[in-house]
Structure 1
Amino acid sequence: MFFRFHNSVNLKIISARQLGNFWNTQKRNMCEARTRVLFCGPHFPASHNYTKEYLHNYPFIQVDDLPFDSIPDLIGNYDICVVKSMRLNSDVIARATRMKLIMQYGVGLEGVDIDAATNHGIKVARIPSAKTGNAASCAEMAIYFMLGLLRKQNEMQIAVRLKKLGDPIGDTLFGKTVFILGYGNIGIELAKRLRSFGVKILATKRNWASSVPNRFNSTEPASQNGTYEDLVDEKGCHEDIYEFAKKSDIVVCCLTMNSETAGIINKNFISSMRKGGLLVNIARGGLLDYKSVYEGLESGHLGGLGTDVAWTEPFDPNDPILKFPNVLLTPHVAGVTESSYRSMAKVVGDVALQLHSGKPLTGIEYVN
C-alpha cells in the first residue's frame, strides 16, 4: 500500500513502512520533549502519587517512581530527581547526564552528594517547611510524643488489656521545661503550640536575630522578621546545649543532620539530662547515638524516648530498644499529612512546569 503526501514543492509517494517510521520518529520526538520527574524508591508513596495527581492534566510532564536498584541505570533519562530516602552518591550523579535539579520532598538533603552535583552542573534544592505545613505537622508530632510519654501510652494499652482502671499514673505537660534543640522552622512552630500548655521554653540555634543571645532570660520582644524569639524564655547557642539539657524535663531534637550534628545526642549529652528526662526526635535518626540512648533507657536515667525517625530505615521491628515500655516509635510520618504532602506536591509540580517552560524555579531553596 502506498500513500500520497503533497506539499508546495512536489508530490511524494511513500510506503506503509516509511509512514510507520515517520510516526515512530514523531512519537520519539514528543517523548524526548517531555520533562521527566523521577521519585526514588517505594517509600513515602503519597509523595509521587499526589504529584502525579497534580500534574494529571499536563501530559508533557512525566512522573515516575522507580525501585532503588534500577535508578543508577535509568537516572540519565530524567530532568528532575526527588530523592526521598535514597542516597545519591557521586557515581549515581555522574550518570544523571540530563539532570537539571535534584530536590527533596521536604528539607533533608544529607543523602545527596552536593559537591558532586555541583561539579556536574546540577542544582540541589529543598522545599522550605514553613510555607508547606510540613513544619507544623512535625511540631504536632512532637507534642504527640510528649503527651504519649508523659501519659504512658504503652502502659495504658497494657492496663486496658488487663482490665485495670486508674493505672498508670501519668504526668502533665503543664509546668514542664522543654528544650528545643534547633530553633528553625519546626522549632518555631513547636514553640507556638507549646505556649498554650504553660511550659518554659529553652532553645538553641546557630545565630539569633539579636546580636547577643539572651541565654538566661528573654525580656525583649524579638519576633522581628518572623523569628518568633519572644516565644523563648532562654536562648542559647551550641555551647549551651549541656546546660540547657540539665535544666529541662523534655528535650526535642529539631536539628538538621550534617557532619557537625551527627551523633550529637551522645553519652555526654544524655548524662547531662535530668534523671527521668524525656527525649523526642522528629528530625533524623543519625542525630542520636544508638548505644548511648539504649544504655540511658536501660539504666533508667533516660525517662523515655519518642522518635519518628530511626538509625536505619525501615526500622527493624525486632530491635531490642522496643522492649522498653517507655519508647514510642512511628514510621517517619511526622511530616506526612494530607495538608503538607498536597502542598509539597504542588511545589514539585510547579517546579516541573516552570522547568519545562524555561521559567525561573520558585518555591524551593537552593543549597548550591
Structure 2
Amino acid sequence: MHDICSEKRLTWFIIQFHQGDISKMEGMARSSDKNITRVLFCGPHFPASHNYTKEYLQNYPSIQVDVVPISDVPDVIANYHLCVVKTMRLDSNCISRANQMKLIMQFGVGLEGVDINAATRCGIKVARIPGDVTGNAASCAELTIYLMLGLLRKQNEMRMAIEQKKLGVPTGETLLGKTVFILGFGNIGVELAKRLRPFGVKIIATKRSWASHSQVSCQSSALAVKNGIIDDLVDEKGCHEDIFEFASKADVVVCCLSLNKQTAGIVNKSFLSSMKKGSLLVNIARGGLLDYEAIAHYLECGHLGGLGIDVAWTEPFDPNDPILKFKNVLITPHVGGVTEHSYRSMAK
C-alpha cells in the first residue's frame, strides 16, 4: 500500500501519470485512444469527488474521467488506467479484468474494500490520500462534535418540541465535565481531541502503539510535544487491552478505528455491556466496527443512552431501518469528510 504524500493529491497524480507514462502505454482499447489516459470513478455516490476532479482537469482534454455505475464496473474496468473506488468493493475477479490498470486509489483513507493482494499480483499499485494533510480528518472531527452535541442536547426531541409548539424542552446535557473515550487515536482522533479541549472534557484514548503516533504538524506547533508525540491532548492513554476498562469510565465513546479483520464488530455485546448505563456512542469511522444486533439490543433495553453514526452497516442506509425508531439515534449520510475544503484539497 502506497500513501500519496501531502502535496501529491489526486489530480496531481493523474497529470504526472499521464505526462510521464503515456509514451509507455500499450494495448489501448482502441487505436484512436492511444494518447488518452482514462480515469474510472466507481458509482455515483460522493459526487463532489469526481466533480472537483473533472473541474481541475478541464484543461487536459487527453485525460478522460468517467463515472460508471457500480454494477457496470466489472464490464468496463479493462478500458481504464486509474480507478477511484469510493464505496465499491474491488475483489480479485474484478481486478483480474483490469489489464491496463496502473493504480487503484481511494478518494480518502479507507481501503478495506480493495483486495490489495490481488492488485499486487496483477502489478497494480494501491494508494490512498492521507486525511491529516487534506483536511479530511479535521472535517470528520467537526462532524463528530456535531453528533455528540446533537445527542447531548437531544436534537430529535427538540425537533418534536418545535412541531408541538413547546418551549423550554427538552432538558439537555453539556459536554462540560464529561469523559470522552476516543477508541483509535489516529488522525481523526488527534483532530477530535484538539477540538474537544476547549469544552472542558477529560479525554481518554486507546491506540495499539503510541510509539508510532504521528508528530504534530507545523500548523499545530503551539501544542506541547514530548518525544514527538502529542501529550497535552490525552489525559489517560491505553492500549487495545484497555478498551473495556476505558469504556466503563466514559460518558461518550467515539469510534475512530480503521476497519480490518481485527476490528470488525469490535463494538459488540461485551463492549457495550462494559459501557456506563446511559453513555453515548458515536461512530465516525466505518459501519462494520459496530455489531448491529448488539447495538439494537442495548438501545432497546435503555443501556445505551444514544447513538450517533455517520457510517452504517449497509450503505446507503435503509431509511426504514428499525434502529431509526429510537429518538436517541442520529444518523448522517457518510458526510464526515465531505466538505468544500477537504474534497477540493483531495481532488487537487
TM-score where L is the length of structure 1 = 0.82
Question: Which secondary structure state, in structure 1, belongs to the residue aligned with residue 168 of structure 2?
Answer: coil
1: CA distance between counterparts of 2:224 and 2:48? 38
Q: Name the counterpart of 2:95.
A: 93
Q: Name the counterpart of 1:353.
A: none
Give the letter for the 2:131 counterpart: S
Aligned partner (choices 8, 31, 34) of residue 32 of structure 1: 34
2: CA distance between counterparts of 1:210 and 1:289? 28
Deviation, 1:33, is 1.5
Question: Which secondary structure state, in structure 1, belongs to the residue aligned with residue 89 of structure 2?
Answer: coil
Q: Name the counterpart of 1:245.
A: 247
Give runs of ≥4 in structure 1 deviating > 4 Å. Answer: none
Question: Which secondary structure state, in structure 1, belongs to the residue aligned with residue 232 of structure 2?
Answer: helix
2: CA distance between counterparts of 1:225 and 1:282? 29
Q: Name the counterpart of 2:152.
A: 150
Question: Is 1:170 aligned with 2:172?
Answer: yes
Q: Name the counterpart of 2:315.
A: 313
Unaligned runs of 5+ in 2: 1-29, 214-222
1: CA distance between counterparts of 2:42 and 2:98? 13
Give the letter for the 2:317 counterpart: F
Q: Name the counterpart of 2:196.
A: 194
Q: Name the counterpart of 1:116.
A: 118
2: CA distance between counterparts of 1:281 and 1:179? 12
2: CA distance between counterparts of 1:96 and 1:202? 45
1: CA distance between counterparts of 2:226 and 2:52? 36
Percent of pairs with identical residues: 74
2: CA distance between counterparts of 1:206 and 1:99? 34
Question: Is 1:289 aligned with 2:282?
Answer: no
2: CA distance between counterparts of 1:251 and 1:53? 39
Deviations 1:43-91 (A, max 9, x none): 1111111100011101121111100121111101111100000000000
Q: Map of 1:1-368 to 2, 5 A cutoff?
A: 29=31, 31-209=33-211, 223-224=225-226, 227-346=229-348
Deviation, 1:210, is 8.4
1: CA distance between counterparts of 2:226 and 2:64? 42
1:30–1:225 CA distance, 2 compared to 1 (3 A)? farther
2: CA distance between counterparts of 1:130 and 1:276? 32
Q: Name the counterpart of 1:10.
A: none
2: CA distance between counterparts of 1:240 and 1:163? 46
2: CA distance between counterparts of 1:121 and 1:66? 23
Deviation, 1:230, is 2.4
Give the letter for the 1:109 counterpart: L
Give the letter for the 2:291 counterpart: D
1:167–1:320 CA distance, 2 compared to 1 (3 A)? same
1:226–1:70 CA distance, 2 compared to 1 (3 A)? farther
Question: Which secondary structure state, in structure 1, belongs to the residue aligned with residue 210 of structure 2?
Answer: coil
Deviation, 1:224, is 4.6
1: CA distance between counterparts of 2:224 and 2:285? 25
1:225–1:96 CA distance, 2 compared to 1 (3 A)? farther
2: CA distance between counterparts of 1:265 and 1:183? 16
Question: Which secondary structure state, in structure 1, belongs to the residue aligned with residue 175 of structure 2?
Answer: coil
Give the letter for the 2:345 counterpart: S
2: CA distance between counterparts of 1:112 and 1:131? 22
Deviations 1:295-345 (A, max 9, x none): 110011000000001000111000000000000001100111111010111
Deviations 1:108-146 (A, max 9, x none): 111101110011011111100001000000000100001
Give the letter for the 1:304 counterpart: G
Give the letter for the 1:251 counterpart: V
Q: Name the counterpart of 2:12.
A: none
1:156–1:261 CA distance, 2 compared to 1 (3 A)? same
Question: Which secondary structure state, in structure 1, belongs to the residue aligned with residue 141 of structure 2?
Answer: helix
2: CA distance between counterparts of 1:187 and 1:71? 34
1: CA distance between counterparts of 2:330 and 2:67? 31
Give the letter for the 1:295 counterpart: H
2: CA distance between counterparts of 1:222 and 1:234? 16
1:131–1:58 CA distance, 2 compared to 1 (3 A)? same
Q: Name the counterpart of 2:217.
A: none
Deviation, 1:186, is 0.3
1:128–1:225 CA distance, 2 compared to 1 (3 A)? farther
Give the letter for the 1:267 counterpart: K
Q: Find the structure with the greater CA-based Rg.
A: 1
1:80–1:225 CA distance, 2 compared to 1 (3 A)? farther
2: CA distance between counterparts of 1:223 and 1:188? 13
Give the superposed CA RMSD: 1.6
1: CA distance between counterparts of 2:227 and 2:144? 25
Deviation, 1:223, is 2.8
Question: Which secondary structure state, in structure 2, belongs to the residue aligned with residue 121 of structure 1?
Answer: coil
